[in-house]
Amino acid sequence: MQMETSLRATRQSGFTVLEMLLVLSIFLLISSFIWIGATNIYREKVIDQFFVQLEKDLLYVQQHAFVNKEKIYLFWYPDKHYYEAERSGFKGELFERAYDQNIKVESGNIKFPIEYSPSGYFYQAGTIFISYDKKTYKIIFNLGRGRFRVEKL
pLDDT of 43 reads: 83
Is pTM, for the whole model, over 0.75? no
Q: How far is CA 121 from each of CA 24, 59, 64, rounded to the nearest angstrom?
A: 61, 11, 11
> 32: buried, middle or exposed (CB in 10 Å: 19+, 13-18, 0-12)?
exposed
Q: 37: how many CB neighbours lie within 10 A of its CB?
A: 10
pLDDT of 79 reads: 92
If the chain, 153 residues long, is cut into consecutive pieces of 10 residues, what is the mean pLDDT of each piece?
56 76 86 74 88 93 92 93 90 91 91 89 89 91 81 87
Q: Write down all domains in the chain, each with its CATH number in brackets.
A: 2-152 (3.55.40.10)
pLDDT of 50 reads: 94
The two counts, helices (H) then strands (E), for the chain are 2, 8
Q: Which helix (H) or strand (E) holds 96?
A: strand 93-98
Rg over alpha carbons for the chain, rounded to the nearest Å, is 28
